[in-house]
């Protein structure tokens, strides 16, 4: 099989294309022939940072979609099933023609959904779903979401609006028309130097803030949250309470999608995959919408991921291997 492999911390363009022996699925595993590979910021971040559990020859990539071509002992999923997946960061991933996965961590893809779209969805859609699920239902209350111009934010806005929240979307002004069409009631220009101060002056106490920037940025937004409200961190986490004790009594939440692979029990894993299959079906039926995609051949993977890292990509890149 062909695979883009990592050797040491560096740039996406440092990945090396190698021809490797095709792996065999073990007990409880499936082998997927990838038809498409989705690219995500976490991919270039780990390529840049490295990790103690990554060794020379590791295959990066968390998102992909394709067809099950072999199964290990104890697996009931039929060969030939169309699936999408979010792979464990610490296992060989999707930047290959074939990927071995835990059988209980793949999602069935509707027949009407193409593989390229399916491969682009797992990481952003599941992350958004987990973030919104942190909030207790409360119809009509205002929720502020930051950094919503990308794929994760696009799904957060839609899921919040569908749940009945009043969505405030903070993003560059060029994204505002699209976000409004997806359900944002109010749009704030994050590129404005005084956007935070303007929100302060408006005095709107937000039921929740969902932040996709950093732990530091999330902590700065904490004073905007109402009493007994919620602060959800998609990037980073709050290592210490952002406000003094016995004041706003905020509930702090972190989103850690990759942790499901090693810390979730079987029912929790099954629930996440069921949620993912529902999201795939919603996109197939156009009840939810992703961001625009640009297809690249597998050979162009390093350059496409580098463009994503540099911010020069014109659309979200996805690699097409078959079809």
DSSP string of 137-203, one letter each residue: P-TT-EEEEESTTSHHHHHHHHHHHHTT-EEEEEE-GGGHHHHHHTT-SEEEETTSTTHHHHHHHHT
CATH class of 135-254: alpha beta
pLDDT in tens, 176-205: 999 999 999 999 999 999 999 999 998 889
Q: Do domains 2-122+259-320 and 135-254 have the same CATH topology?
A: no
Superfamily covering domain 2-122+259-320: Medium-chain alcohol dehydrogenases, catalytic domain (3.90.180.10)
Query: Does the pLDDT value for residue 257 go beyond 80?
Result: yes
Termini Cα distance of the chain: 17
pTM of model > 0.95:
yes
Please state, in angstroms and rounded to a whole number, the distance separating the CA atoms of residues 42 and 200.
32
Burial class (CB in 10 A: 0-12, 13-18, 19+), 80: exposed
pLDDT at 202: 86
The percent of residues above 90 in pLDDT, for the chain, comes to 97
Mean pLDDT of the chain: 97
pLDDT in tens, 205-228: 999 999 999 999 999 999 999 999
Report domain extents, the chain: 2-122+259-320, 135-254
* C-beta neighbour count of 203 within 10 angstroms: 7
Burial class (CB in 10 A: 0-12, 13-18, 19+), 299: exposed
Question: Which residue in 98, 97, 100, 95 sits closest to 15, CA to CA?
Answer: 95
pLDDT in tens, 126-165: 999 999 999 999 999 999 999 999 999 999 999 999 999 9
pLDDT at 131: 98
pLDDT at 203: 84
pLDDT in tens, 90-125: 999 999 999 999 999 999 999 999 999 999 999 999
pLDDT in tens, 263-316: 999 999 999 999 999 999 999 999 999 999 999 999 999 999 999 999 999 899
pLDDT at 204: 82
pLDDT at 52: 94
Query: Does the pLDDT value for residue 233 go beyond 80?
Result: yes
């Amino acid at each position: 099989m062909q695979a883009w492999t990592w050797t040491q911390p560096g740039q996406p363009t440092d990945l090396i294309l190698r021809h490797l022996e095709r792996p065999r699925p073990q007990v409880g595993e499936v082998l997927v022939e990838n038809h498409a590979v989705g690219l995500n910021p976490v991919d270039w971040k780990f390529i840049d940072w490295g990790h103690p559990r990554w060794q020379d020859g590791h295959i990066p990539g968390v998102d992909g979609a394709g067809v099950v071509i072999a199964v290990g002992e104890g697996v009931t999923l039929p060969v030939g099933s169309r699936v999408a997946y979010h792979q464990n960061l610490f296992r060989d991933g999707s930047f290959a023609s074939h990927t071995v996965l835990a059988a209980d961590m793949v999602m069935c893809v509707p027949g009407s959904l193409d593989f390229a779209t399916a491969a682009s969805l797992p990481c952003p859609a599941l992350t958004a779903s987990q973030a919104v699920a942190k909030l207790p239902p409360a119809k009509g209350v205002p929720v502020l979401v930051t950094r919503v111009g990308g794929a994760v934010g696009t799904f957060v806005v839609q899921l919040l609006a569908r749940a009945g929240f009043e969505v405030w979307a903070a993003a560059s002004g060029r994204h505002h028309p699209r976000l409004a069409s997806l359900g944002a009631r109010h749009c704030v220009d994050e590129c404005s130097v005084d956007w935070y101060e303007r929100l302060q002056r408006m005095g709107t106490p937000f039921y929740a803030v969902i932040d996709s920037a950093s732990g530091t940025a999330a902590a700065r937004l904490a004073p905007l949250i109402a009493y007994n409200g919620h602060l959800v961190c998609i990037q980073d986490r709050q290592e210490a309470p952002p406000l003094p004790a016995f004041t706003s009594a905020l509930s702090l939440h972190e989103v850690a999608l990759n942790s499901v692979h090693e810390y979730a029990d079987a029912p929790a894993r099954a629930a996440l995959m069921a949620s993912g299959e529902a999201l795939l079906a919603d996109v197939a039926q156009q009840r939810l919408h992703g961001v625009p995609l640009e297809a690249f051949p597998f050979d162009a993977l390093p350059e496409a991921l580098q463009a994503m890292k540099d911010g020069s990509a014109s659309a979200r890149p996805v690699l097409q291997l078959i079809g």
